[in-house]
């Protein structure tokens, strides 16, 4: 496994410096891009060190540098702290193209669960703030909609959310993240991407989810809305799969799922034209 370099990145939003772990493949292609990876954990737990097999695998598969951001966690640091940390890490990565030897026009985002939700939010945030430019987003069972599992949940699917990440878990994670966010906040898409009124001019998305995952319905709905807004989407649904099932790497379904995610990231961040 590729060993990371740890560095501290300055915040562009007035916050503290942000730890970023950089994974460099042995033979990076200078015509390729780079990947900003955002780990999962329901907005309230997790770390790069705990989940470093993910960014290491991305770097090896895509042959490009991968920066994994150690964003601040809720409830100690609620919205918009995690989003601002991710945006600062993206800005830093974009500025390292010459130093690290990659094509700055081919930076993509990748994240799983809460990290997938933050990646989707970051794509909206970067568009709204005028950059940095993002070439693609790889969203693995992303946590997108704060309403899921609550009284105002728009999805009524009794077969999802029974394992690993439940409705109660989801309510806890979103309440912890909320901070000073209010329903009339103009930054609604930065908080809960499913609330974004405008999904146009976002980068192409690869979305992978399981049919028994609590996030299944919100993932499908988000994919449909992206398509309606003119955004290219490659959606993959895995029958019988629960949340984070691919943590059992030797299972045949996990291998197919993980292989698809890595192939999508390699295609998006790899050299233009293959």
Catalytic positions, written as ranges:
113, 213, 243
3-class state of residue 22 by DSSP:
strand
Helix (H) or strand (E) run with residue 21 in it: strand 18-23
3-class state of residue 109 by DSSP:
strand
Find the length of the chain. 274
Question: Given the DSSP bridges, would you call strands 18-23 and 5-9 parallel, antiparallel or unpaired?
Answer: antiparallel
Distances, alpha carbon 226 to alpha carbons 122, 129, 200, 262, 264, in Å: 15, 19, 7, 22, 17
CA distance 274 to 266: 9
Q: 44 and 173 in contact (C-beta within 8 Å)?
A: yes
Distances, alpha carbon 9 to alpha carbons 36, 81, 104, 105, 132, in Å: 13, 15, 18, 21, 16
Place of tokens 């960014």: 55
């Amino acid at each position: 496994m590729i060993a990371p370099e740890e560095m501290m990145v300055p915040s562009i939003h007035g916050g503290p410096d942000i730890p970023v772990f950089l994974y460099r493949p042995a033979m990076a292609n200078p015509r390729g891009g780079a990947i900003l990876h955002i780990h999962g954990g329901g907005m309230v737990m997790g770390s790069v060190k705990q989940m470093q097999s993910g960014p290491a695998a991305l770097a090896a598969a895509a042959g490009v540098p991968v920066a994994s951001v150690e964003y601040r966690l809720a409830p100690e640091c609620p919205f918009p702290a995690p989003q601002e940390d991710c945006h600062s890490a993206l800005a830093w990565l974009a500025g390292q193209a010459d130093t690290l030897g990659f094509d700055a026009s081919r930076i993509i985002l990748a994240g799983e669960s809460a990290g997938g939700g933050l990646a989707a939010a970051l794509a909206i945030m970067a568009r709204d703030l005028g950059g940095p430019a993002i070439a693609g987003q790889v969203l693995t069972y992303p946590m997108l909609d704060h309403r899921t599992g609550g009284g105002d949940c728009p999805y009524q699917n009794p077969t999802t959310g029974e394992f690993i990440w439940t409705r109660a878990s989801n309510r806890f994670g979103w309440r912890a993240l909320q901070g000073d966010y209010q329903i009339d906040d103009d930054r609604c898409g930065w908080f809960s991407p499913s609330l974004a009124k405008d999904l146009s001019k976002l980068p192409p998305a690869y979305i992978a989810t399981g049919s028994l995952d609590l996030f299944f319905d919100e993932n499908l709905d988000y994919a449909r809305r992206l398509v309606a807004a003119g955004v290219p989407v490659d959606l993959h649904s895995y029958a019988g799969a629960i949340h984070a099932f691919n943590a059992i790497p030797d299972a045949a379904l996990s291998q197919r799922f993980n292989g698809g995610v890595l192939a999508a990231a390699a295609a998006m961040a790899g050299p233009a034209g293959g």
